[in-house]
Amino acid sequence: MNVEIYTWRTCPFCIRAKALLNRKGVPFTEYAIDGDETARTKMAERAGGRRSVPQIFINGQHIGGCDDLYNLERSGELERLLQA
């Protein structure tokens, strides 16, 4: 399993998304891109043009931002993605 999350350090949505992953015991790679436009452009290219943070990827698949992550958790779909 490979989980990647692009964040800004003070972003409340980033903090919430990381908290959910931590509660579930999911290891992840964090890319803190605060003020780094080159990194943000790379993230947007991977995320289909989305420039907001966080942007989360599971096994290379873009799953979206914080709300998307919590929606996957509520539906039970997050477990399936993490098991793949």
Summarised one tens digit per residue, pLDDT across range 50-68 is 999 999 999 999 999 999 9
Query: pLDDT by residue (tens digit) across 4-52?
Result: 999 999 999 999 999 999 999 999 999 999 999 999 999 999 999 999 9
CA distances from 13 to 10, 59, 61, 84 (A): 9, 21, 20, 25
As a whole number of angstroms, the distance between CA 10 and CA 68 comes to 19
- Topology (CATH) of 3-83: Glutaredoxin (3.40.30)
Global pTM value: 0.95
